[in-house]
Amino acid sequence: MATNTDVSALIRNQGDVIRALKSSGASQEQIDKEIAKLQLIKKEHDKDDKPQFSLKCAKGARDFDPQQMAVRDQLFSTITSCFKRHGAVTIDTPVFELKDTLTGKYGEDSKLIYDLQDQGGELLSLRYDLTVPFARYVAMNRIKQIKRYHIAKVYRRDNPSIQKGRYREFYQCDFDIAGQFDPMIPDSECIRVVAEILKELNLSDFVIKVNHRLLLDAIFSISGVSEANFRTVCSSVDKLDKISWEEVRNELVKEKHIPQETADKIGTYVNLSGDNSLLNKLQTDPLLSTNQNAQIAINELQLLYTYCQRLLIGQFVTFDMSLARGLDYYTGVIYEAVLIGGHKYEVGSVAAGGRYDGLVGMFDVKNRAVPCVGVSIGVERLFSIMEQKMKGEKIRTTETEVLVMSGEDGFLEQRLSCIAKLWEQNINAELFYKKSSKLLTQIQFCEKEFIPLGVIIATEEQKNGGVKIRNISTREDKFVRDEDMVLEIKAFLGNKKCS
């Protein structure tokens, strides 16, 4: 790139050129062409002149301001309550894992893993999800049974799209059940957890698409795909919620060299979806009925459906043969919740998960498996919708109950003494960090910040050994003696909370 001095010289030269053209009576077209060149050079020059640092967040990451945090807290609290309702404990794991821990777990998505620079010592990567760290934790601690939730950030070097709610740093809220149990019972609970959260958030209607990895494998197998190609075909099929079957077929045939007739055969199955009756239809399909994997999968899905009905969530479940889930580690039932209707933009899946019976074993020297099933709530998309819904609403970002004020000079120390008494009694209180301010400004601050009560320190009341307390909404003042202040305030706030 040209240095600043080079560019300045270029600008001067180009100026000379334009002036020469003008004085020689050249055509306007010719002159405009040279002016355009000058502007281009200047633009380049301005770029070089920018300050040495950029004042921004890393690409694909973002700050949350206090209003956003208030919305996010509301979302997390709904999710956490649900996880606790189902008896889950919580754990935490580091934001980075040994690079080897993540290797070979994510198939084609592995290229999106963030690595840390080798600064001596271990090679580390940022976690890509919470599932692999969970499996590592279970294996490392030789845990046979655990139901845990984990809410934390994960990292993907993906192409960010704010419109689609796709970030490089984002939260996952995971709920997983590990242990050797009778089939489909924990699986149906995971689906119930998704339904409960989406019902409670009440953002829109939703469906939970369900499929089975073994059924997909059976479809690939009877269509003529070799076992070695199952996973790569799977990640193409997984795109069916974003692109058409024609495009997926193209990718299979042209990029992945799957024969046309194989691709077409796959197409006849993966475009199927429906309720329980689809399972009955598949069970008697001439090709699938000869495939053992297909029969296992269909039996499991039928059992799952029965349990979901018992759990009062049967109406949300749709069997969808196009659901594939890109990740390598799934081994059984897979599911994905999608919001339907009433949205300005396509939000895609808002929760997804499935069974991964082999992952813990990958971390065990003796390959001891602990079967797992779980679900991850896609909070960023839910957050975007909530934010849109609450746009314009004034959201409270503090919990301040009292502002200790004075409209007169010279009362700073009294204000400090007063607020200390409130803090000692666990009352949420603030004061202006100024020696003097107008009383009106302080009262307006209370109104703006929804602070219900003011304590006003003034000469007159001080003489009588007390303060005024002001009900901000009614604008009523009341004199209270210093020794009664805390009790009076507590009584006022107590009534507030009950009303």
Asked if 131 touches its own copies (CB under 8 A), the answer is no
Residue 360: both structure tokens together: 């813990």
Restricting to residues 292-351, name those near its own copies by CB under 8 A: 306-307, 310-313
Q: Please, which residue, 182 or 483, has the CB nearer to its own copies?
A: 182
Among the residue ranges 21-29, 47-55, 251-259, 289-297, the one whose residues contact its own copies (CB under 8 A): 47-55
Least distance CB 236 / its own copies (angstroms): 25
Segment lying near its own copies (by CB under 8 A), choices 118-126, 385-393, 460-468, 477-485:
118-126
- Contact call for residues 139 and 363 (beta carbons, < 8 A): yes
Q: Is 172 annotated as a binding residue?
A: yes
Q: Cβ 309 to its own copies, closest distance in Å?
A: 9
Binding status of residue 220 toward its own copies by CB under 8 A: no
Q: Does 430 bind its own copies (CB under 8 A)?
A: yes
Residue partners of 98: CB distance under 8 A and separation at least 6: 122, 123, 124, 125
- DSSP annotation of 25: T
CB of 64 to its own copies, least distance (A): 4
Q: Which is nearer to its own copies, 48 or 118 (CB)?
A: 118
Could you give the string, one character per residue 70-109, with x where binding to its own copies holds by CB under 8 A and - elsewhere? --x--------x--xxxxxxxxxxxxxxx-xx-x------
Asked whether position 276 contacts its own copies by CB under 8 A, the answer is no
Token code pair at residue 408: 């007169």
Nearest distance from C-beta of residue 186 to its own copies, angstroms: 5
- Measured over the CA atoms of residue 231, residue 237, residue 241 and residue 246, the dihedral's sign is positive
Considering the rule CB under 8 A, would residue 412 count as an interface residue with its own copies? yes
Tokens of 256: 């992945």
> Judged by CB under 8 A, how many residues of this single chain contact its own copies?
96
Query: 3-class SS at 26?
Result: coil
Which of 240-245's residues contact partners 24+ apart within 8 Å by CB, and which partners? 240/270, 240/271, 240/322, 240/324, 241/322, 241/323, 241/336, 241/338, 241/348, 241/349, 242/348, 245/270, 245/271
> Within 10 A of 169 (CB to CB), how many other CB atoms are there?
18
- On whether 149 is known to bind a ligand per the annotation, the reply is no
Residues 166-195 that bind its own copies (CB under 8 A): 169, 177, 179, 181-182, 185-186, 188-189, 192
| SS3 call for 156 | coil
Classify residue 334 as left (phi > 0), alpha (psi -120 to 50) or beta.
Answer: beta
Residue number, 12 or 84, with CB nearest to its own copies: 84
Residues comprising the binding site for L-histidine?
Answer: 129-131, 156, 172, 176, 325, 329-330
